[in-house]
Amino acid sequence: MAHEPKDILIEGHDADGIREYDNALPKWWLYGFYVTIILGAIYLFYYHAWEGPDWNFLWYGPRGQEQEFAAEMKNVKTPLKPGVRDFSTWQKKTDAASLKIGESIFQQRNLCFTCHRPDLGGLVGPNLTDDYWLHGGRFQDILKSITTGYPEKGMLQFGNNNRLTDDELLDVASYVISKHGSNPPNPKPIDPARDVLVKSQD
């Protein structure tokens, strides 16, 4: 700021030749400061006290953050809807190499064993070795269950959301079906209210 005659020098307030003057604040700065105080009070009241109709209609929808969150959650749930693929022509594999890959996916990569036990006898999830199934025991039913999961019951898509290729999906479903009738010790008891007797083998 230029040194004007009205400037009042503050004695002793200088450093390296820079001196301080006791001048009035510029009007634009002072009024801007008052505006920020007013806006701050409005913000505090609106977001922390006001529960009435939404005022924020110019740059954001009503209660914008809540609606944005709801829209994002809706988009997340969309891919989880069941029945998105047709497995009617898919056939199980029986070769040792494919079953070994399926076992690795079940026992390690996709953590299926944590709910169904390493011997598939059932823990939190149902026994996968008998003739009683919650969502169908045909090979195509198992493919569908793995693909869609049952999030409302705690099973994510592909077990832990770790997506599989079509070959890997075939491998792990084939591994599951290969364990039918293996009769592991102390299997999870059948729940007559939920489990349905079906033939798991095609």
Question: What is each CA distance from 150 to 81, 82, 122, 155, 157, in whole angstroms?
Answer: 9, 9, 16, 5, 7
Q: How many residues does the chain have?
A: 202
Q: What is the pLDDT along the chain (202 residues), one digit of tens a residue?
A: 555 556 777 777 778 888 888 888 889 999 999 999 999 998 888 888 887 776 665 555 555 667 777 777 766 654 545 556 888 889 999 999 999 999 999 999 999 999 999 999 999 899 999 988 888 889 999 999 999 998 888 899 999 888 999 999 999 999 999 999 999 999 998 877 666 766 545 5
What was the pLDDT predicted at 80?
47
Which pLDDT belongs to residue 60?
A: 56
Query: pTM for the full model?
Result: 0.57
pLDDT confidence of residue 13: 78
CA 166 vs. chain centroid, Å, equals 23
What is the pLDDT at residue 136? 85
Tokens describing residue 21:
């003057």
Q: Is 169 exposed, middle or buried (CB count within 10 Å of its CB: 0-12, 13-18, 19+)?
A: buried
How, if at all, do strands 196-197 and 132-133 pair? antiparallel
